[in-house]
Amino acid sequence: MRIIKIFKITLSSIFTIFITSQAFSAENMGAAHPWGLNLREAFSPVMAEMVSFHNWLIWLITIISLFVLVLLFIIIFKFNTKANPKPTKTTHNTFLEIAWTAIPVLILVIMAVPSFKLLYKADVIPEAHMTVKAIGHQWYWSYEYPDHGNFTYDAWMVSDAEEIEGQDRPYTRLLTTDTRVVVPVGKVIKVQVTATDVLHSWAVPSLGVKKDAMPGRLNELWFQADREGIFYGQCSELCGTNHGYMPIEVHAVSEEEFLAWIEEAKENYAKVGEDLNLAKVKE
């Protein structure tokens, strides 16, 4: 009875932490929170399917694990020396051998079908509304908007809240950047990812995207933000001393706000030379 009571308390605690983590996620869309347990809230169709698939797999894995645990307890208590002093002489069982081969294969097939569908959906880019180019450097990102005048700018991590004082956006430690990626909400955005020096990786968990940035190669990904908000990410490929200081900040805004930002950005940003190292023009 004591074991059952401890088990119930443990499950209750886990459930409480799970609910609490979900509540925190709802307050701030793209940022992680202390003691968060679940995946970040999904804000794109692909990420929503990833979360759904993950949650389904958790149930499947839990059932399989409990089944194996029950078998272990049966073996421990029913087939120990005291309970079963004379061991069985069984050498094989055709039915069991077929079952423990066929059932795992069937389970793997059941897991593989939705997995392959999700991989295909994440990899094949639908007709895009616009393209953004993300270029990784040690240790910052630069962005180009080829469909909107081909202006470019750098995005460095903001180390102190005072750096963005007066701007209408929150400061999140190690995640806020001095400039941000701005995209229209509800539109398919294609992101071309590359690098100028070493391997980097452009990743935004809430949008379900992660793609390696490789020098000399152009990789592509896509996302569609379902709601307006700020979504944070980081470089997810070890790239040197300041790897942990390469955040990504994506703002999904209305079409009107996006067009207004584009006009402002065209005036504020300019390309310096032919090098991919970009600089912000001082006003």
Domain limits, the chain: 130-269
**d(C-alpha 161, C-alpha 171), whole Å:** 6
Q: What pLDDT, on the 0 to 100 scale, is given for residue 38?
A: 79
* Per-range mean pLDDT, top range of 72-76, 77-81, 200-204, 227-231: 200-204
Which of these ranges, 74-83, 102-111, 131-140, 198-207, has the smallest mean pLDDT? 74-83
Mean pLDDT of the chain: 84
- Dig out the tokens for 22 from the structure: 């979900």
pLDDT of residue 169: 74
pLDDT of residue 153: 93
Residue 192: partners with Cβ closer than 8 Å, 6 or more residues away:
131, 132, 133, 134, 218, 219, 220
pLDDT score at 182 = 95
Angle of the 45-78 helix axis to the 94-123 helix axis, nearest 10: 160
How far is it, in rounded angstroms, from Cα 128 to Cα 221? 11
130-269: which CATH architecture?
Sandwich (2.60)
Q: Once rounded to an integer, what is the mean pLDDT over residues 130-135?
A: 96
pTM over 0.85: no
Residue 274 has pLDDT above 60, yes or no: no
Residue type, 101: T
